[in-house]
Amino acid sequence: MDLIQEVGKRLGVEVKIEALEFESLIASLKQGKIDAIISCMSPNEERLKEADFTKAYYNTKHGILVNPESDVDIKELEDIFNYEFGVQTGTTMAVWAESKVQEGVVKESQVKYYTDANAGALDVKNGRLGAFVVDGPVAYEKAKELDIKVALETVLENDENPGIVLPKGSTEMLEKLNKIIDDMMADGTIAELEEKWLKQ
């Protein structure tokens, strides 16, 4: 949220945050219910048909959440296939998990899909789920909030880096936001925010 507040300040607009389910974000954008999406959403072929993306503001890393009191032991990404694990629907993590099911690396019954990241993290906390794979900043936030831990920070082979998402045809705003992202990269603001998100 700090990132979009800083972008808003540099744009000279007030930012109002709306919390929506990840899968409903592009529909809400197209219906004009929201003006932009900033939710670790990465461009893919399907999304690019429906919306415009700025340049990346963050190099994607994912966190694997586990309960420190459980016997779940994850030292590398492949270790997750020994357990029942969760991902959030509509995300690159879900696409990755589905591809692993198709490859026969993991059983379909081992993968749980959540519309809400909070629900997945809570299931880890309450011992109903071995591990939950979520975007890095969210993982660290949930670990702190629920007293669970990020067992591993990792990248997935199909990862794309996220941008701010705008309605299709937002050429002028896209240029302004790309310039702001460039400036924030150059002046160290993004690095500061990453440090805050991931190490808080």
pLDDT by residue for the chain (200 residues), tens only, comes to 788 999 999 999 999 999 898 889 999 999 999 999 998 888 988 999 999 999 988 777 899 999 999 999 999 999 999 999 999 998 889 999 999 999 999 999 999 999 999 999 999 999 999 999 998 888 999 999 999 999 999 988 767 788 999 999 999 999 999 999 999 999 999 888 877 766 55
2-59+161-199 has which CATH code? 3.40.190.10
**How far is residue 44's CA from residue 64's CA, in Å, rounded to a whole number?**
23
**How far is residue 93's CA from residue 89's CA, in Å, rounded to a whole number?**
8
Whole-model pTM? Answer: 0.68
Q: Please, what CATH class does the domain formed by 62-154 belong to?
A: alpha beta
For the beta carbon of residue 176, count every other beta carbon within 10 angstroms: 15
Q: Start-end ranges of CATH 3.40.190.10 in the chain? A: 2-59+161-199, 62-154
CA dihedral (134, 137, 140, 145) positive or negative: negative
